Amino acid sequence: MTLKDKTAIVTGSTSGIGLGLAEGFAAAGANVVINGFGDPAEIEAERARLDGLGDGTVVYDGADMSDPDAIEAFVKAAEAKFGGVDIVVNNAGIQTVEPVESFPKDRWDLIVAINMSSAFHTVRAALPGMKERGWGRVINIASAHGLVASPYKTAYVTAKHGIVGFTKTVALEAAQDGVTSNAICPGYVLTPLVEKQIPDTARSRGITEEEVKRDVLLAAQWTKKFVTVEQLAGVALFLCSDAAENITGVALPVDGGWTAA
Ligand code: NAD
């Protein structure tokens, strides 16, 4: 499929799933705004690589997804540069693994801000333009943890359940304007976010890191395989296709059967 002349913004796309989705959109010919933190030289190398993949232009914006004003400016800058934002992918996310009694208060606020509220701010800013042009796609990267819980992840599970509700509400509000709103709910993908929580989970549960992978991360994933970023990019592109025009308000698990059980 082609996304030529479409513009996508992908939050948190200097790494992991977001980078994979940005790559998929760039290869399909879209203009893409990548976003996120990291080493400036590495980000520029990725931006240049993505820019070479398709007909569109790929730019970087380092807006902080915990800052509502910065998020609004991020959307406005993309609209000014490309004449509109057609696809919003809310993907930026962080994690903390800690029992609720000792969960750091500042991490709760930050996780809710980045993993949930940032989606409200991007959509609030981008939806008027989508409605005006009569076409838009909101894709929220939730998680299997948007549908079911796991211990020690209160803020993350709360934010991901919240984003599923947000997804559905936007779907209803925009249904007659050519705009769909869906959530993708991945199971475990081996990205830096997951790699980082392996030692913490091992400590919280008193087990080895190998046991965390086998007995915790893949325990509920019936395929016994990690989901890949390429598979998620394929799903996101499908949601942008004409075939998906009537798919809206969905929280789509891509989780190896985790939430089926
Ligand atoms: P990752 O750590 O590899 O990437 C996270 C991205 O978010 C990075 O680009 C980072 O710079 C960016 N980011 C963090 N804080 C930011 C901020 N304040 N402003 C802007 N960007 C910020 O993580 P990932 O595994 O690729 O996760 C991406 C999304 O997918 C998250 O929302 C995560 O919850 C979700 N998810 C991941 C998995 C998994 O197994 N990896 C499973 C389900 C859902």
DSSP secondary structure code for residue 20 in this structure: H
The Cβ of residue 38 has, within 10 Å, a number of other Cβ atoms equal to 14
Cβ atoms of 166 and 119 closer than 8 Å: yes
**Looking at residue 193, what is its pLDDT?**
80
Angle at 234 between CA 240 and CA 196, to 5 degrees: 115
CATH 3.40.50.720 boundaries in the chain: 7-189+227-260
Q: Is the pLDDT of residue 80 over 90?
A: yes
Rounded to the nearest angstrom, the distance between the alpha carbon of 94 and the centre of ligand 1 is 6
Ligand 1 centroid – CA 16 distance (Å): 7
* pLDDT given for residue 52 in this prediction: 98
- Mean pLDDT, rounded, of the chain: 97
Distance CA 36, CA 54 (A): 21
Of 24-28, 43-47, 57-61, 220-224, give the lowest mean pLDDT range: 220-224
Going from the Cα of 193 to the center of ligand 1, the distance in angstroms, rounded, reads 6
**What's the CA angle centered on 233, arms 161 and 54, to 5 degrees?**
140
Mean pLDDT calculated for residue range 17-45: 98
pLDDT recorded at residue 201? 87
Q: Are the C-beta atoms of residues 51 and 26 closer than 8 Å to each other?
A: yes
Residue 1 has a pLDDT of 81
- Over residues 165-200, the pLDDT tens digits come to 999 999 999 999 999 999 999 999 999 888 988 998
7-189+227-260: CATH topology is Rossmann fold (3.40.50)
Q: CA-to-CA distance for 258 and 46, rounded, in angstroms?
A: 32
Residues 145, 153 contacting (CB under 8 angstroms): yes
Query: How far are the Cα atoms of 116, 145, 211, 233 from residue 163, in angstroms, in the given order?
Result: 6, 11, 30, 19
Q: Which of 191, 198, 228 to mutate to test the pocket of ligand 1 (most atoms within 8 A of CB)?
A: 191
- To the query of whether residue 60 is one of the catalytic residues in this protein, the response is no
Half-sphere exposure of 183 toward its Cβ, with a 13 Å CA cutoff?
29
The pLDDT score that the predictor gives to residue 230 is 98
- Give tens-digit pLDDT for 112-143: 999 999 999 999 999 999 999 999 999 999 99
For the CA of 67, the closest atom of ligand 1 is 18
Q: How many CB atoms lie within 10 A of CB 212?
A: 22
Report how far apart, in Å, the C-alpha atoms of 43 and of each of 59, 134, 136 are: 10, 33, 27
**Per-residue pLDDT at 27 exceeds 90:** yes
pLDDT score for 196: 87
Report the C-alpha dihedral over residues 147, 153, 154, 157, rounded to 10 degrees: -20
Coil, strand, or helix at residue 4?
coil
Task: Decide: 87 and 9 in contact? Cβ < 8 Å.
Answer: yes
- Longest Cα separation, the chain: 54
Percent of the chain exceeding pLDDT 90 equals: 96
Report the Cα 81 to chain-centroid distance in Å. Answer: 22
This prediction has a pTM of 0.96
- What distance in Å separates the CA atoms of residue 35 and residue 186, rounded to the nearest whole number? 20
Which one of 193, 216, 217 would you pick to mutate in the ligand 1 pocket, going by the greatest count of ligand atoms within 8 A of its CB?
193
Question: What's residue 6's pLDDT?
Answer: 98
For the CA of 144, the nearest atom of ligand 1: 43
Task: Please state the atom number of ligand 1 nearest to the C-alpha of residue 186.
Answer: 43
- Determine the average pLDDT of the residues in 201-218: 92
Asked which of 15-24, 107-116, 217-226, 231-240 is least confident by mean pLDDT, the reply is 217-226
Residues with CB under 6 A from ligand 1: 11-18, 35-38, 64-66, 91-94, 114-115, 141, 143, 186, 188-189, 191-194
Tell me the average pLDDT across 100-120. Answer: 98
pLDDT tier, 46 (very low <50, low <70, confident <90, very high otherwise): very high
